């Protein structure tokens, strides 16, 4: 499962519009649509219903959202844990 697709799903669900999610993520709206479509194919369910005002979560989307948030949080924590600039400074005194 592509974690960027999961991140895209979370932002789109929070913002309710694929265009706003694209702007925040620094990608095109087409890229957002493709990521979500790929995620829907992997999961085998529809996550959003497209409306005139944007997107709304389906029941499956509502069920997946809390788990998707946990995935994004876990990935962010894992990346932070291995970044050298995020580690505490260690000074040895002789």
Tens of pLDDT, residues 47-65: 999 998 899 999 999 999 9
Res. 81 pLDDT band, cuts 50 70 90? confident
Q: What is the mean pLDDT of residues 61-83?
A: 94
| Average pLDDT taken over every residue of the chain | 92
Q: What is the pLDDT of residue 29?
A: 94
> For 1, how many CA atoms within 13 A lie in the half-sphere containing its CB?
18
SS3 85: helix
Q: What is the mean pLDDT of residues 10-28?
A: 95
**Can you list the domains of the chain with their CATH numbers?**
3-80 (1.10.10.10)
């Amino acid at each position: 499962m592509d974690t960027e697709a999961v991140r895209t799903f979370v932002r789109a669900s929070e913002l309710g519009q694929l265009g706003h999610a694209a702007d925040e993520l620094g990608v095109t709206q087409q890229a957002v649509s493709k990521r979500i479509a790929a995620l829907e194919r992997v999961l085998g369910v529809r996550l959003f219903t497209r409306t005139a005002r944007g997107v709304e979560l389906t029941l499956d989307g509502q069920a997946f959202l809390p788990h998707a948030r946990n995935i994004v949080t876990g990935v962010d924590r894992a990346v932070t844990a291995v970044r050298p600039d995020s580690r505490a400074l260690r000074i040895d005194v002789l």
